[in-house]
Amino acid sequence: MDVVRSEVKKRARKVAKLIVRQGKTAPEAMRAAGYSDAQSAKGFPELLRRKTIRTALAKEVEKFAAETDGLPGAAERAKMIRWRLTKNILTGKDAAVASCKLAGMDREVNLYQPDSQNNVMVVQFPNDFDWSEK
């Protein structure tokens, strides 16, 4: 009986990790954890019905919140990226450029947006334009 219970808890933890850490949907996570297609197809209501999965989800969300607590905000991350890139220029090294690029592309930081739009054409006809002529 304990073996079955530990397997159920193990699958529940896997479902919780897939949902919280990887953003999987309930059916995807349940299938990946070994639940049948019939059970997986029931989706989120099935997760709410199962106490072991509810408990595992609550614990995983709590862990994730604890890990992300205290992370720097968007302004601080932008400063860190600029500092790293400036340091690379001063030292003549290409350290962490790919990481800086990915971090700068985060929608909160949004460092790599052009200052102006390119290829935009605005056509304005004069007020005295005669529309009857072709």
Give the pLDDT mean for 12-34.
94
Residue 101: closest CA among 112, 117, 87, 115:
112
What is the residue extent of each domain of the chain? 2-68, 74-104
Task: Quote the CA–CA distance of 67 and 21 in Å, as a whole number.
Answer: 12
At 79-121, the pLDDT tens digits run 998 999 899 889 988 888 888 888 888 888 888 776 666 666 6
Q: What is the pLDDT of residues 69-86, one digit of tens each?
A: 888 888 898 999 899 989
